[in-house]
Amino acid sequence: MEIAKLMDEMGVSIIAVGYPAVSETEKEAVKLVASEGLSKAKVATPARPTKKDIDLVIECNADEVPIFLATSDLHLRYKLKMSREESIKKAVEAVEYAKDHGLIVDFVAEDCSRSNLTHLKNIFKAVAEAKADKIVIADTVGFMLPASMKYLTSKIRDFLWEECKLKIPLAVHCHNDFGLATANTLAAIEEGVTYPHVTVNGYGERAGNAPFEEVVMALEILYDVRTGIKKEKIYELSLLVEEKFGFPLPIHKAIVGRNAFSHESGIHVHGVMAHSLTYELFPPEIIGRQRKFYFGKHTGKYHVEARLKTLGITVSEGKLRKIVDRIKKLHEIKKRNRSKKQLEQIKEFMEKVQTGITEKEFFKIVEEVTGIKITKRKIPPPKFRKET
């Protein structure tokens, strides 16, 4: 609720607050946010193309439903066991059902980026004619190149808008498996997408999704596009989501990471002190942050001298050099003393924080529910289909 209210206050247009089919707790969370009556933002909650899932969205009083259905032959064959024709029929039925119940409907083509283009055109035309409100291009495994994303988006745009005369808004949903989610989202926007899907801090399945803060700031600073987002609250939102999700932010995360506006190198510190734009593209205050200067092995005398002056201390050139040398040596000693064991402890902690229940906990649940005693000898390794 806190996250949704802050997003609403910041100017986020649509908030996908949860997936009610997951659990009763998730459903109640969606209901809570939807019933709160956010001042501007619409509440969305996803569903598979089934009446059961869509009925849960209706029950939660959400405004919008992204209906997701895989469109690639890979997913259709191995996961859904469905033909292209069957998938089109299912998609249309789901869109019509949701529209009949007063929902704003987005059709999400899962694994769109690995789908046959002719099939994509057919299914998008069908759902658009069924009165879907948005078409969502999804790079589900995050493998698109920005040039490929521009090509695919433009083909879909031209087909729907010009050939079919169906001026349906386009959205994009990018995963970050190759670190290209932000770049691909921006590439899609360049070709007419007006609804980018983003997640705060980039949190999401596997390597995550296009980060909210990166897409917003890239549009604002690099493209000179007004997003309507109150940028001064971006860092506040980032920290709130980090706290509530319990997922520590990577130190070098762009825009909101601890080091994003931190400077140690003597050359950088000197430059920033002379004019912040020398090593910062925008002032940190714009997103509610402050810059930091650290002392370490890259520290130069300019930083030390400037820091001493703030304390009213002036030292000779020789003493200044000695202070700088001792800072460098102390930092190097501290780095050497960081043990491999400490690193392993940190990694172990991160593993516990960022995963679900353990296998041991899973088998305990199975034993309690079924009454079957499971020993380690009985547990086979998982088997996955191997394809080239």
Q: Calculate Rg over the CA atoms of the chain.
A: 26
Our measurement of the distance from residue 76's CA atom to the centroid of its chain's CA atoms, rounded to an integer in Å, reads 26
Query: 196-219 pLDDT, tens per residue?
Result: 999 999 999 999 999 999 999 999
Q: What angle do CA 292, 295, 297 make, to 5 degrees?
A: 135
Q: Give the DSSP H or E segment for 339.
A: none
**Burial zone of 31 (CB within 10 Å; 0-12 exposed, 13-18 middle, 19+ buried):** buried
Residue 66 reports pLDDT greater than 90: yes
108-122, 174-188, 356-370: segment of lowest average pLDDT? 356-370
Residue 299 reports pLDDT greater than 80: yes
List the one residue out of 53, 70, 52 whose CA is nearest residue 18. Answer: 53
- Specify the amino acid at residue 184: N
| Averaged pLDDT for residues 314-330 | 86
Residue 317 reports pLDDT greater than 80: yes
Query: 165-187 pLDDT, tens per residue?
Result: 999 999 999 999 999 999 999 99
Helix (H, G, I), strand (E, B) or coil at 82: coil
- Reading the block at residue 181, the tokens are 């989610």
Can you give the residue ranges of every domain in the chain? Answer: 2-245
Which of 128-142, 241-255, 337-351 is predicted most confidently? Answer: 128-142
Q: Give the DSSP H or E segment for 2.
A: helix 2-10
Q: Assign residue 244 a region: left if phi > 0, alpha if psi is -120 to 50, beta otherwise?
A: alpha
- Reading the block at residue 277, the tokens are 């734009």
Strand order across the beta sheet in which 170-174 lies? 14-16, 42-44, 64-70, 104-110, 134-139, 170-174, 195-197
pLDDT confidence of residue 203: 94
**Confidence tier at 383 by pLDDT (50, 70, 90):** low
Q: Is the dihedral of CA 187, 190, 196, 201 positive or negative?
A: positive
DSSP string, 217-231: HIIIIIS-------G
| Averaged pLDDT for residues 5-20 | 96
The CATH architecture of the domain made up of 2-245 is Alpha-Beta Barrel (3.20)
pLDDT confidence of residue 332: 83
- Specify the amino acid at residue 346: I
Selected residue with higher pLDDT from 104 and 292: 104
Helix (H, G, I), strand (E, B) or coil at 62: coil
pLDDT confidence of residue 314: 86
List the one residue out of 90, 99, 162, 160 whose CA is nearest residue 133. Answer: 99
Selected residue with higher pLDDT from 55 and 265: 55
pLDDT confidence of residue 32: 94
Cα–Cα distance, 32 to 114 (Å, whole number)? 37
pLDDT averaged over every residue in the chain: 91
Contact in structure between 124 and 108 (CB atoms under 8 Å): no
pLDDT confidence of residue 226: 96
| Averaged pLDDT for residues 189-194 | 98
62-71, 206-215, 255-264: segment of lowest average pLDDT? 255-264
Q: Phi/psi of residue 182, each to 5°?
A: -65, -45
- Reading the block at residue 76, the tokens are 């259709």
| Averaged pLDDT for residues 299-308 | 82
Residue 131 reports pLDDT greater than 60: yes
Contact in structure between 4 and 235 (CB atoms under 8 Å): no
pLDDT confidence of residue 165: 97
Residue 377 reports pLDDT greater than 60: no
List the one residue out of 348, 257, 71, 306 whose CA is nearest residue 315. Answer: 306
Residue 319 reports pLDDT greater than 70: yes
Residue 44 reports pLDDT greater than 90: yes
pLDDT confidence of residue 343: 79
pLDDT confidence of residue 379: 62
- Reading the block at residue 342, the tokens are 């400490």
pLDDT confidence of residue 206: 92
% the chain with pLDDT above 90: 66
Query: 137-170 pLDDT, tens per residue?
Result: 999 999 999 999 999 999 999 999 999 999 999 9
